[in-house]
């Protein structure tokens, strides 16, 4: 099984900050990596697919990069509605999620 | 409007069974690959399993913790996805989400989610 890790597990940031979240796979997964945002009590929302493709309707301040084993999700200027938990998900084998990164208000 | 609505959650004793349903609308259900994803209280997301469209073989995949206990099926005539859960354990307690997304094994992402249904396994 492919193991996914994320760092940090949580972070505190201010509105306007640039935020970077890292996701690492236990083996190469090419670019088969997706990112989701989840707010408390809500279903997850797809942000980025295929490592760097922005899902329709998602603000351009979100971007993804990476391939192989190391990936990043970047929020260029954090907005109040971005405080949430972010998950990566690999699709190289049977799908699996990372443990999540919680972004809260500093 | 594309919509997924789960139902069937509830309280069940360890060792018991439960069947969840997911009613789909707003898209061609018969062409869709469908998945179940769950989230235990205060925990992260866990993919449970997937069923492909019949035109893509209708095959199923499952996560290791549920393999042999859970079965995913579909009724394309009713636009409904099912999750039959047997031999339930306390660790199966979670919100269960129905999802759909891209019909590709490698570029598989989930862009439509239901609101979830809660399953509690407790004596």
pLDDT tens for B71-118 read 999 999 999 999 999 999 999 999 999 999 988 888 899 999 999 999
Instruction: Please give the pLDDT value at position B104.
Output: 87
User: What does the block give as tokens for A85?
Assistant: 């938990």
**Is residue A16 packed enough to be buried (19+ CB in 10 Å), middle (13-18) or exposed (0-12)?**
exposed
CA B49 – CA B40 distance, rounded (Å)? 16
Across the interface, do A44 and B116 touch by the CB < 8 Å criterion?
no
- How many CB pairs lie under 8 A apart between chains A and B? 64
Both tokens of residue A96?
């699996």
Q: What is the pLDDT of residues A5-31, one digit of tens each?
A: 999 999 999 999 999 999 999 999 999
- CA-CA distance, B83 to A24, in Å (whole number)? 31
Instruction: Show residues of chain B in contact with A44, CB under 8 Å.
Output: 37, 45, 97, 110, 113
H or E element: which one contains A20? strand A19-25
């Amino acid at each position: 099984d492919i193991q996914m890790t994320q760092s940090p597990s949580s972070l505190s940031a201010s509105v306007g900050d640039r935020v970077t979240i890292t996701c690492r796979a236990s083996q190469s997964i090419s670019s088969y990596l997706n990112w989701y945002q989840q707010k408390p009590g809500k279903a997850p929302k797809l942000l980025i697919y295929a490592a760097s493709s922005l899902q329709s309707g998602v603000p351009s301040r979100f971007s993804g990069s990476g391939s192989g084993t190391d990936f990043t999700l970047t929020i260029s200027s954090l907005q109040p509605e971005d405080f949430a938990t972010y998950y990566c998900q690999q699709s190289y084998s049977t799908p699996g999620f990372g443990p999540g990164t919680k972004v809260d208000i500093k | 409007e594309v919509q997924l609505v789960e139902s069937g959650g509830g309280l069940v004793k360890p060792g018991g069974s439960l069947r969840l349903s997911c009613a789909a609308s707003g898209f061609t259900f018969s062409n869709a690959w469908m998945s179940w994803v769950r989230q235990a209280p205060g925990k992260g997301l866990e993919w449970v399993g997937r069923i492909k469209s019949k035109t893509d073989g209708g095959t199923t995949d499952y996560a290791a913790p549920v393999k042999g206990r859970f079965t995913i099926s579909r009724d394309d005539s009713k636009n409904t996805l099912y999750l039959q859960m047997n031999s339930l354990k306390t660790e199966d307690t979670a919100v269960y989400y129905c999802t759909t997304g891209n019909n590709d094994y490698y570029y598989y992402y989930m862009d439509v989610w239901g609101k979830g249904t809660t399953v509690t396994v407790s004596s």
